[in-house]
Amino acid sequence: MKISDSVVGAGFVAAGALIIAGTLNYPNLDAGHPGPSLFPRLLGGLMVIFGGLVGVGGLRARDATEDVAWLRLYRNSAFINAVFVLGAVVTYIVMVGRIGFILMGTLILCALMWRLRVRPLAALVVAVVFSNFVYLLFAKILRVPLPGGLFWW
């Protein structure tokens, strides 16, 4: 997802300014020397400068090498794949406590493999076997308290 350097630079300038703004209420050390705010302010300041330079460089080079067609994003298979990955992890975080690791893991793996054109039966078999393998490895052998949920052993 390449976007132009001028936009990237502007983003970093904004981020640097936000970092500095976030430190305005930080307390000083004795004798008025800066304490917790010193390092983040330096970083924020440098981020503004570096971001500005990248942005100006992008403007000068008339860098418009965006490979993102924003209006056709819904047709971009790479973007949809990425959304699937993000959706899978967010769904995992929200749902794993309720339905448990094995079922959740199986569903996520099936969805991702279906998206990547793995045959449905193969996807289901791999998802079930792999979820149980990960559960055995982490929950049973390494004693990580993965949520058991509906199907657990």
Partner 1 sequence: MIENLQGAFSLLTTWNVALTILICSVYGLFVGAVPGLTATMATALLVPFTFFMDPVPALVSIVSMSAMAIFAGDIPATLVRIPGTPSSAAYTEDAYELTKQGKAELALGTCVMASSIGGLFGALVLMTAAPLLAEVALKFTSFEYFWLAALGLSATVMIASTSPLKAGLALLVGLFFSTVGLDITLGYPRFTFGSTELLNGINFIPAMIGLFGVSEILRNMASAHLRLPTTDVRAQHIFRGVGKVLWKYRNHMMRSGPLGTFIGILPGAGADIAAWIAYAMARRFSREPEKFGKGVIEPIVGATTANNACLAGAWVPALVFGIPGDSITAILIGVLFMKGLRPGPEIFARQPELVYAVYISFLVANLLMVPFGYLAIRASSTMLRVPRNILMPAILMFCVVGSYAINNSDFDVGIMLATGILGYFFEANGIPVAPVVLGIVLGPILEQNFMVSMIKSDWDLTQFFTRPTAAILGVLTILIWIAPFLPAIVRRLRGGAAVA
Q: Which residues bind to partner 1, rule: CB under 8 A?
A: 1-3, 5, 8, 12, 16, 19, 22-23, 26-27, 29, 33, 35-36, 38-40, 43-44, 46-47, 50-51, 53-54, 57, 77-79, 81-82, 84-86, 88-90, 92-93, 96-97, 101, 105, 108-109, 112-113, 116-118, 122, 126, 130-131, 134, 138, 142, 144-146
Q: Can you name the residues that pair with 34 across neighbouring β-strands?
A: 28
Q: Which is nearer to partner 1, 101 or 103 (CB)?
A: 101
List, in sequence order, every beta strand (DSSP E) within the chain.
none
Q: Which of 133, 124, 76, 123 has its CA nearest to residue 84? A: 76
Shortest reach from residue 1's CB to partner 1, in Å: 5
3-class SS at 34? strand
Q: Which is nearer to partner 1, 99 or 118 (CB)?
A: 118
CA distance 153 to 148: 8
Q: Which is nearer to partner 1, 71 or 145 (CB)?
A: 145
Q: Which is nearer to partner 1, 16 or 100 (CB)?
A: 16
Q: Cβ neighbours of residue 6 under 8 Å, at least 6 residues apart?
A: 55, 56, 58, 59, 63
CB 80 within 8 A of CB 72: no
Q: Which is nearer to partner 1, 59 or 134 (CB)?
A: 134
Shortest reach from residue 71's CB to partner 1, in Å: 19
Shortest reach from residue 20's CB to partner 1, in Å: 11
Q: Which of 118, 37, 45, 41 has its CA nearest to residue 127? A: 118
CB 48 within 8 A of CB 16: yes
Shortest reach from residue 22's CB to partner 1, in Å: 6
